[in-house]
Structure 1
Amino acid sequence: MARAKSVAARCSPTLLYRMNVFSNRSACFAILLGSTLAAFWAPLSRLIRFSFQQEHYSHIILIPLLSAAVFSLERKRIFSHVETRWGPGLGLLLAGTLFYWFGRRDSASPSENDQLSIAMLCIVVVWIGAFVLCYGLRTLRAGLFPALFLFLMVPIPDSLLNQAISSLQTGSAEVTDAAFQLLGVPVLRTGFIFLLPGVTIEVSKECSGIRSSLALLIMSLLAGHLFLRSVRTKAVLILATLPLIVLKNGVRIVTLSLLSIYVDPRFLTGSLHRDGGILFFLFALTLMAPVLLLLQKSEAMQGQHDHPTQTPLRERTRARVCVVAYTFYAYDNRVRRYAETLAKRGDEVDVIALRRRGRPPVEVISGIRVFQIQRREINERHRLTYLFRLALFFMRSTALLTTRHLRRPYDLFHIHSVPDFLVFTAWLPKLMGAKVILDIHDLLPEFYADKFRTPRNSLIPRFLVAVERASAAFADHVIVANHPWRDKLLSRSIRDPQKCTTILNFPDASIFFRRGRPKTNSKFVILYPGSLNHHQGVDLAIRAFALIRNDAPNAEFHIYGEGDQKAFLKDLIGTLGLENRVFLNEIVPLTEIATVMEAADVGVVPKRKESFGNEAFSTKILEFMSVGVPVIVSDTEIDKYYFDESIVKFFRSSDEKDLAHGMLLLIQNAELRRRLAANAEAFIKTNTWEVKKTEYLELVDHRLIAHGSKSETP
C-alpha cells in the first residue's frame, strides 16, 4: 500500500486523469464485448464447434488471440489518441446487428457454413463498432491491421472454398508431375492419378493442404505487418506465399511417394502421411524467410525501415549463443572446440545436435547444455533416407531454437554444415536481429557427388551449389575449413571476400596432448580413427596391411569409427583372413580417442585422391601430431598444400603397394618415426587451437557483431 501511494504521488494529476479515463473506456469496451458475446452466443458456439470439426477451419479459434496479441504489442502506438465517437460507433453497431437479423431471416443458402459466414461477418462489424465507440476512429486507423485481422474468423463461403481447394489440387498435381520428371522417376499420369513403380497415388482434394495453406497465408500477413513497413513489400510477400503453398503441397506428395517406393510402402499410410503436415509447413516457412529478408533489405536500402539495433557483444557481460550441428556433439572435435571456447570465457552456450544410443535427450557437457533431439544410425544406403533424416532434424531444430529464442533471445547462432541449409533454422531469430555464422565443414555439392557416386556436373550437385549460394547469402559470415575451399566458395557462391574466413580444424590442446603414459600393448599398432566412408580409403589401408602381415608379424591395425562402409569393411577383413590382426572398433568420445591415439605407434590417413578426399582437410593428421605419433598420409592436394615430407610420410593415393611400403618402412625404422614426430611437434606448436582461437573470438566479438565482417589475409 505504501509503494502504491508513493507511485501515485510521483504521477502528475493530468497523467492520473488520463489513466482513469482510459480505464473507464476499457471497462466500457469490455461490457460491450461481453454483451455481444451473450447476444451472439448461438453462432459463436457453433463457430467454436465448427473449428474443431472442420480441419480447414482449425485456425479460427486462434484469430482473436493473435489479434489481441498484436493490439498488446503495439498498444502504446495504437492507443496514443483515444476519443469517444458516438456516430460512427453506434452506426457500425446498428449496421452489424441489422445485417445479422436480416441474414438469419432471409438467408437463401441451406449451407451451415454459409450461414455462419454471414453471422460472423456481422459480429466482427459489431465488435469494430464497439471499438470505435470507446476509442475513436483515429485509434481504429492506428490499429487497422489487428482489427481487420478479425475478419479471418469468418468462414470462407462454400463456393469460394471449393474453388480454392480445386486450384490447390490442380497446382499440387502439376508440381508433383514436374518433380517426378525432374528427378527421373518413371511415371504415367492420368489427371490426378499417378502410376509409379510399385504404387499408384491420387492427388485428391484432401491433398490440397488447405489447412496448412491458410495457416501459411496467415503467417505471411503477420510477418508482413511485424517486419515490413510499406504496403508494396507486404503485398509482394503475400503474393510470394501463393506459389510456396503449391510447392509445399507438391513436395509433400513427392516425398511420401518416393519414400514409399524406395524405403517402405507404409509411408503412404503411416504417421508421416497423417500427421506430418507440420514438417512441410515448417519447410514452407523456411522458404518464406529469404523472401522476407530480401524485402527487409530493399526497404532498408530505400531508408523506409528502421531496424532495431542490438547491443554489441563486447558490451555484454555474457552472450547467449546457440550452436546447431547435424552431428554427435560429444564426438565432434570442431563443434565442441568452438562451443567450449565460448563457454570458457563466460558465454552461455546451448547446442542442438544428434543423439547416440544410450545418451539422454538433454545433458550438460563441460558447462554446455546439449539438446540431443534425434537419434541417428549411420547406415544410410539411399539418398532419400539421408534426406529424410536431414529434413526431420531441420524441422525439429527449427522448432526448438525458435521456441527458446522467443523465451530468451540468443545473440548469435553458430550453425555447422553439412548440410548448408541448416542455416535457415535461424530464420526467425535473424529477422529479430540475431547474428548467424555458417561454418562449412565440407563442400556439400562435392560431398554429395562422392557419397552417392554422382557426376559433379549433374542436376543435384548443381542444385546444391545454388543452395550453398543461398545459405552463404543468408548468413552474416561464413567460416570454411580450409583455404582451397575458401577460394572455391569465392569463385561460385560468395562475392565479398571479407565475408568468408578460413579456420582450420585445429585440435583442442586440452584434449590432444602428450600425456606421457607408458605403452601397455606389446604389439606395433597402426591406427585409423574417423568416419568410415568411401573417400576415406580405409579399405585401401586394410588391403595394404594384408600385404605386409608376414613381414610385420607383431603389427596390428586398429580402426575406430562409424559410417556407411562399416559392414563392407567388416566383410573385407574376414575375406582377407585378418580377423586377428585388424580390429574394427566402435566410435568413442574425443577425450577417449586422444588416449587411444597416443598409445598407437603410427597413424594412417589413407584418403582417396580421385574423390572428395582430395579436397577435404583431415584434422586427424594434426591430432596425431599433437600426441606425438608419426603419420602416413595420402598425397592429396589438400594435404600437400599444408604438409611436406619432413613432417608426414606421404604415399601415392589409392596405391596399396606404396601404402604397404610406407607402413613397413615406419615399422622397421624407429629413427624415421622419431624424426617425423619431432618435426611435427614443432609444426603443431604454431598450429593449435590455443594459438588460433583468438581469431574466432575476434570474429564473433568485434567483426561480426560490432564492426561487420572480418577481413582475411590468406
Structure 2
Amino acid sequence: MTARICFIRQSVYPYELSFRREVETLHRAGYETHVITMRDYRGEHRGRREEVIDGVYVHRLPVRRRRGGVSGYLYDYLSFFVLAALKVTALHLRHPFDAVQVNTMPDFLVFAAAIPKLLGARVTVMMQEPVPELWQTLRGAPPPPPVRWAERAAIAWADHAFTVTQQLKETYVQRGSRADKISVILNVPEPRFLSLATDPPPPPPADRDSFTLICHGAIEERYGHDTMLEAVARVRPHIPGIRLRILGAGSYVETFLALRARLGLEDCVDYLGWVSLERMVQELRAADVGIVAQKSSPYSNLVHTNKMYEYIALGKPVLASRLRAVQAYFDENALCYFTPNDPQSLADGILALYRDPARRQRLAENAHRLYRRYRWDRQKEVYLSAYRRLLE
C-alpha cells in the first residue's frame, strides 16, 4: 500500500520553491502527498479550498497574514495552528497518514500533528529558521523563554528533524537536541525549477560597459537592500552602465524605494516586485552578478539563502556578505566576499568584478564545482533515506 504523507506549512503552496521541492520529491518517490497550507487570496490559485496540483492534494485554510508587531504574529500563528490541527486530524481520521511533516516557523506548529502522532503517524519537523536568533535579530533583545522552549520541544517531540546547515544543526545540539535526530538538507534548488524559463534571456545591452547586478527574494531590512543601494551610488560614477534589478516583496519595500529616490537611483535601480518563476529565471540568466547582502546577525551567521545557490547553479558569480555558515561551504576562490553592512566594501567588490571579467568567470566556475557536491540529487538522498528509515 502506498504510504501517505501530509505536510503542514504556514505559507501559500506552491509558490515557495524550497517547500515545493520537498513535497514533489516525496510525491515522485511514490508517496501519496497532501499539503495543508494557507488560502491563496491573490495568486492564480485564489478562491480554491481543495485542489490537486501535479498529483499533490492541497488543502487550503482560510488564513491570511495580517501581522503588525508581536501580537499580530502571534494571532497569525495561533489561527493557523488551530485550523491546521483540526484539518490534519480530520484527514487522518478519514484515512490515516503514515507521516506528517511540519515546516516551521513557528516551532510550536509541530504540535498541530499531535493527534495523528498519538494514533501512530510518524512526525518530522523541518527547522529552516533559528527562531531565537531571528527574534534577537529583529527585536534587538534576547528571546523570551517560551521561544527557546518551543525550539527544543519541537525537535525532542518529533521523530526526526531536518535543518538547513551544519552550523544550525550544531547550534541545536549545543542547546540540548540529539545529533542523531537531525539531518542537514541544504537550501539548494531543484534543477527543474531553474529550467522552467522557455524563452532565452534578453540580449545584453549594446553598451559594452553595461553591468547588471541582481538580487531577488524577500525584501526585509536584514537582507541589506540599503547596503546595495548605497554601494551602487558609490560606484555609479565609475560604471556608467551599471544596473541593479530587485525582484521580490516584503516589509522593507517602501523604505527601499524612498532611499532609491533620495539617492537619485531611479534610472539605474529597477524594482520589479514579485514575478513569475519563469520571469525570475530569465532575469537571473541575464544578470552579470548576483548579490547576497545579508547583514551580519546571530541569525544570518547560521543560515544560507536560497538565492545564493540559485545564482551559483546558473553559473553566475556571487558577491556575498562574509558570514560564518556561508564561509564554511564556499571559500574565497568561489565567492567574492565583502564586509556585511558596509556599502564601501560592497562597492569595492562590485568595481573589482566589473573590471575583471576573467575573475568573474573563475569565481563562477569554482563555486559551481563546489556546488556539485551539494546539489539536490545528493540532498534528496539524505531526505528520502530519512523517510525510508522512519517508515520501514
**Distance (whole Å) between structure 2 residues aligned to residue 375 and residue 583 of structure 1:** 32
> Alpha carbons of 1:514 and 1:431: their partners in 2 closer, same or farther (altered >3 Å)?
closer
Paired residues of 1:514 and 1:626 also in contact (CA < 8 A):
no
> How far off its partner does 1:695 sit?
1.4
> How far off its partner does 1:508 sit?
0.6
Give, as a single letter, the amino acid of the residue that structure 2 aligns with 1:471. A
Give, as a single letter, the amino acid of the residue that structure 2 aligns with 1:566. V
Paired residues of 1:537 and 1:654 also in contact (CA < 8 A):
yes
> How far off its partner does 1:513 sit?
5.2
Alignment of 1:176-191 (within 5 A): none
Residues 205-242 of structure 1: per-residue CA shift (max 9 Å, x gap): xxxxxxxxxxxxxxxxxxxxxxxxxxxxxxxxxxxxxx
Match of 1:696 in 2: 383
Match of 2:6 in 1: 322
**Distance (whole Å) between structure 1 residues aligned to residue 164 and residue 278 of structure 2:** 22
Aligned with residue 42 of structure 2, among 353, 357, 360: 357
Match of 1:512 in 2: 194
Residues 110-146 of structure 1: per-residue CA shift (max 9 Å, x gap): xxxxxxxxxxxxxxxxxxxxxxxxxxxxxxxxxxxxx
Paired residues of 2:214 and 2:284 also in contact (CA < 8 A):
yes
Aligned with residue 170 of structure 2, among 453, 475, 487: 487
Correspondence 1:705 to 2:388: no
Match of 1:530 in 2: 217
Q: Which has the larger radius of gyration?
A: 1
Give, as a single letter, the amino acid of the residue that structure 2 aligns with 1:705. L
Give, as a single letter, the amino acid of the residue that structure 2 aligns with 1:347. Y
Correspondence 1:625 to 2:308: no
> How far off its partner does 1:436 sit?
0.5
Which structure 2 segments of 5+ residues have no match? none
Aligned with residue 472 of structure 1, among 155, 178, 200: 155
**Distance (whole Å) between structure 2 residues aligned to residue 644 and residue 349 of structure 1:** 38
Identity %: 31
**Distance (whole Å) between structure 2 residues aligned to residue 614 and residue 538 of structure 1:** 18
Q: Which has the higher strand share?
A: 2
Which structure would you say has the larger RCO, counting Cα contacts within 8 Å and 6 or more residues apart?
2
Residues 565-601 of structure 1: per-residue CA shift (max 9 Å, x gap): 1221121111111112112222235454233212211
> How far off its partner does 1:507 sit?
1.1
Alignment of 1:557-706 (within 5 A): 557-701=244-388, 703-706=389-392
Residues 135-179 of structure 1: per-residue CA shift (max 9 Å, x gap): xxxxxxxxxxxxxxxxxxxxxxxxxxxxxxxxxxxxxxxxxxxxx
**Distance (whole Å) between structure 2 residues aligned to residue 480 and residue 517 of structure 1:** 35
Aligned with residue 501 of structure 1, among 180, 183, 193: 183
Paired residues of 1:513 and 1:626 also in contact (CA < 8 A):
no
User: Which secondary structure does the structure 2 equivalent of 1:684 belong to?
Assistant: helix
User: Which secondary structure does the structure 2 equivalent of 1:337 belong to?
Assistant: helix
Give, as a single letter, the amino acid of the residue that structure 2 aligns with 1:550. P
Paired residues of 2:301 and 2:323 also in contact (CA < 8 A):
yes
**Distance (whole Å) between structure 2 residues aligned to residue 365 and residue 514 of structure 1:** 17
User: Which secondary structure does the structure 2 equivalent of 1:585 belong to?
Assistant: strand
TM-score, normalised via structure 1 length: 0.52
Give, as a single letter, the amino acid of the residue that structure 1 aligns with 2:42. R
> Alpha carbons of 1:561 and 1:430: their partners in 2 closer, same or farther (altered >3 Å)?
same
> Alpha carbons of 1:617 and 1:600: their partners in 2 closer, same or farther (altered >3 Å)?
same
> Alpha carbons of 1:348 and 1:611: their partners in 2 closer, same or farther (altered >3 Å)?
same
Q: Which has the higher helix share?
A: 1
Match of 2:54 in 1: 366
Q: Once superposed, what is the RMSD of the aligned Cα atoms? A: 1.9
Paired residues of 1:528 and 1:558 also in contact (CA < 8 A):
yes
Give, as a single letter, the amino acid of the residue that structure 2 aligns with 1:506. V
Alignment of 1:384-403 (within 5 A): 384-403=71-90
Residues 238-273 of structure 1: per-residue CA shift (max 9 Å, x gap): xxxxxxxxxxxxxxxxxxxxxxxxxxxxxxxxxxxx
Pairs aligned (count): 383
> Alpha carbons of 1:414 and 1:589: their partners in 2 closer, same or farther (altered >3 Å)?
farther
Give, as a single letter, the amino acid of the residue that structure 2 aligns with 1:326. Q
Paired residues of 2:136 and 2:298 also in contact (CA < 8 A):
no
**Distance (whole Å) between structure 2 residues aligned to residue 556 and residue 441 of structure 1:** 32
TM-score, normalised via structure 2 length: 0.92
Which structure 1 segments of 5+ residues have no match? 1-315, 707-714
Give, as a single letter, the amino acid of the residue that structure 2 aligns with 1:556. R
Residues 638-694 of structure 1: per-residue CA shift (max 9 Å, x gap): 111111111110011111101011112222221111111111222222211112211
Give, as a single letter, the amino acid of the residue that structure 2 aligns with 1:530. G
